[in-house]
Amino acid sequence: MAVRPAERQTTDNGRGSGDRAPFPPAPPTPSRFERESATTRSPWQRVPYVWFLLPALVGYGTFFVYPTIRAFYLSLFDWTGVGPIGDFVGLQHFGELLRSDRFWAAALHSGQLFLFIFIFQNTVSLGLALMLNRRSRMTHIYRAIIFLPVIMSAVATGIIWILMLDPIIGIVNPVLRDVGLGWLQREWQADQDWAMRTVMLVQAWQWNGMAVVLYLAGLQNVPEDLKHAAMIDGARRWQVFRDVVFPMLAPAFTVVTVLSFILIFRAFDLIYVLTGPLGAPDGATLVIGVLIYGDAFGTSGYSSQPHMSYAIAEGVTLFAFLAGVSALLVSLLGRREEAIH
């Protein structure tokens, strides 16, 4: 008995067992213009963004890559900075600076300065950011006042603080006496025990605004729903900050830490103005930036003759240290951000 087409058994895909799958549609034929452009365009035209990157790459190579390579090359020679390059000495300068007590003392002072700034920015600066995150009429004025030291010239900042800390004409000692803290009066920059502490306080005042702005930006990205949900569940303000707000500030914490590390270890101008090329008193405030400048131009007291190649070796060592530690910090803190999120 013949089977009608309507009674054919169907397969799983709904087609009849005798039906054939239709052929896939043929791809569209490229036009003549497309065929010609595909064969005649150069690789540069196929990747147009390279033209936008080229000026930045040229500038980066000219003003960063080449000077870095050139600096390492000059550190291998005995050169005073004036006249022709002297004899090849290899890694002799690097060995000398690693055996130098002055270099390690300056590195220790820079490390102490960074540690103090790190603690200050993650306590005082973070607290100021929390207060400025509230809405009020004066909030914008307070933000501008706190950020003002960051945009001020470091030389002008140093001169202002020299005048303020002067034991004769300064205003710091009279204010301390008037508020009942006369026992704190001293010659701030000449005191062996307080000179470095004074530099720390001035540096903290200068870079406080940067940390406040970064933390404030991080606080404004914290969703209000999360804080409200935690408070509804019975969490107190401290618990909300500890368990909700602070973990969300991980990206800001990373930026503040890395930037502070680089800026403090490269610190020069403000400390040079405050304490001079010798790190007065008696090298108590000598940091790596001031040491490199003094060795390069013969004003460090170690030698009255400029020794540019030795200073370049110090700079190359500092650059390698900053690059390595910064990469390590970014990697570790980046993993912390991923773990939190």
For the chain, the domain total comes to: 2
Per the prediction, the chain carries an average pLDDT of 85
The parts of the chain modelled with pLDDT lower than 50 are 1-18
Task: List the one residue out of 159, 276, 152, 260 whose CA is nearest residue 214.
Answer: 260
Per-residue model confidence (pLDDT) at position 170: 93
Half-sphere CA count of 273, side-chain side, radius 13 A: 16
Closest among 108, 64, 110 to 261, alpha carbons compared: 110
**Domain encompassing residue 46:** 32-74
pLDDT at 42: 58
pLDDT for the residue 35: 56
Q: Are 86 and 228 in contact (CB under 8 A)?
A: no
Residues 38 and 103 in one domain: no
- Tokens for 335, please give them: 């993993």
**70 and 169 within one domain:** no
Domain check: are 252 and 318 in the same one? yes
Q: Is residue 45 part of a domain?
A: yes
pLDDT value at position 271?
93
Return the H-helix or E-strand segment holding 101.
helix 101-120
Pair 164, 172: CB distance under 8 Å:
yes
Query: Three-state SS for 81?
Result: coil
Residue 218 within any structural domain of the chain: yes
Contact 312, 96 (CB under 8 A): no
Summarize pLDDT for 142-169 with one digit per residue, the tens.
889 999 999 999 999 999 999 999 988 9
* Coil vs helix vs strand at 269: helix
Q: What is the pLDDT of residues 315-337, one digit of tens each?
A: 999 999 999 999 999 999 988 87
For residue 46, the number of C-alpha atoms closer than 13 Å in the C-beta half-sphere is 8
At 157, is the secondary structure helix, strand, or coil?
helix
**CATH code at position 228:** 1.10.3720.10
- Please tell me the predicted confidence (pLDDT) of residue 17: 47
What is the length of the chain? 341
CA distance 282 to 279: 7
Assigned domain for 8 exists: no
Asked whether residue 242 is domain-assigned, the answer is: yes
> Does residue 58 sit in the same domain as residue 202?
no
What letter represents residue 62's amino acid? T
Residue 34 is predicted with a pLDDT of 55
C-alpha closest to that of 188 among 169, 208, 172: 172
Q: Exposed, middle or buried, 197 (CB in 10 Å: 0-12/13-18/19+)?
A: middle
The answer to whether residue 336 is domain-embedded is yes
Residues 59 and 120 in one domain: no
